[in-house]
Structure 1
Amino acid sequence: MTGRGLHLRERNYRCRAGEIDLIMTDVRTLVFVEVRYRNTARFGGAAASVNTAKQRRLTATALHYLQRHGLDTPARFDVVAMGPDNQIDWIPDAFSAQDF
C-alpha cells in the first residue's frame, strides 16, 4: 500500500468497539483499512465479507480513534481483499461512515 502513496500510521488498532487492521495517511486523508482473506468465493469472497455489521464496527472504532487522538481530518474506509489465487483487490473508499 505504500506503493500507492499511503503511509502507515498504526497497525491493529483495538478498542471496545472493534479492531482496524491498518491506519494509513494519504496526503491529508486518514485511511482506515480492513484486510480480508478468503480461501473460497463460496459465500461471496473476501470483499463481500465486509458486511453491514462489520462496517458499523469499523465506523465505531474509527470514531474512537479520531476522538482519542483529537483528530478532525477527512477520513475514508478502504478494503483490501485477497483470495486463493493470490489476487489482491484494493477498494478505495469502499463504504461511507455516513451510511450509519
Structure 2
Amino acid sequence: MKTTGDQAELLAASYLQKQGLNLLEKNYRCRYGEIDLILRDQKTLVFAEVRLRRNLNFGGAASSITPQKQTRLILTAQHFLGSQHNPPPCRFDVVLLNELSLTNIEWIKNAFGQ
C-alpha cells in the first residue's frame, strides 16, 4: 500500500512530466539525505522536493522547507552530481501540494540555490 507521501510524489512526477520534464530518478538517497525527484528540463537537471500539507495551520507546504532541509538537499544533489562525467546546469524546484489533487499543485522553479 502506498503512503500519502508516495502518492504526492507520483502526482508531482506526473504533473512535471505533463509540463515537459523527463523523470530520471525517484527517491535518490545517499548519506546526506534524499531527493524526491530528479528530472531533466531540456538541458537543465532539476532536483525537485515534493511537499504535502493537509493542515494549513502550520504555514502550508512551503514553510516546511527549512534552511537545514535546503542544505541537506544541496549536499545530496552534489553527491549525485559527483557521479556525472560532465554535469549539466541544475536547479532546485519545489512542488507544493496542499491536498492529494492535481488541481492544487504549486510548482516553484529555482526555489533556492546553492
Does TM, normalized by the shorter one, top 0.5? yes
> TM-score under structure 1 normalisation?
0.91
| 5+ long unaligned stretches in structure 1 | none
% identical equivalent positions: 51
RMSD: 1.2
Q: By how many angstroms is 1:8 displaced?
A: 0.4
- Cα 1:46–1:66 shift into 2, 3 Å: same
1:17 is aligned with what amino acid?
Answer: Y
1:9 is aligned with what amino acid?
Answer: L
Distance 1:24 1:46 in 2: 21
Deviating above 4 A after TM superposition, structure 1's stretches of 4 or more consecutive aligned residues are: none
| SS of residue matched to 2:82 | helix
> TM-score under structure 2 normalisation?
0.80
| SS of residue matched to 1:73 | coil
Q: Deviations over 1:72-96 (max 9, x none)?
A: 2100000001113841111111111
Q: By how many angstroms is 1:18 displaced?
A: 0.2
Greater strand proportion: 1
| SS of residue matched to 1:69 | coil
Aligned length: 97
| 5+ long unaligned stretches in structure 2 | 1-15
Greater helix proportion: 2
Q: By how many angstroms is 1:2 displaced?
A: 0.9
> Does residue 1:83 correspond to 2:83, yes or no?
no
Alignment partner, residue 92 of structure 1: 109
Q: Deviations over 1:2-60 (max 9, x none)?
A: 11110000000000000000000011000000001011111111111111010000000
Alignment partner, residue 18 of structure 1: 33
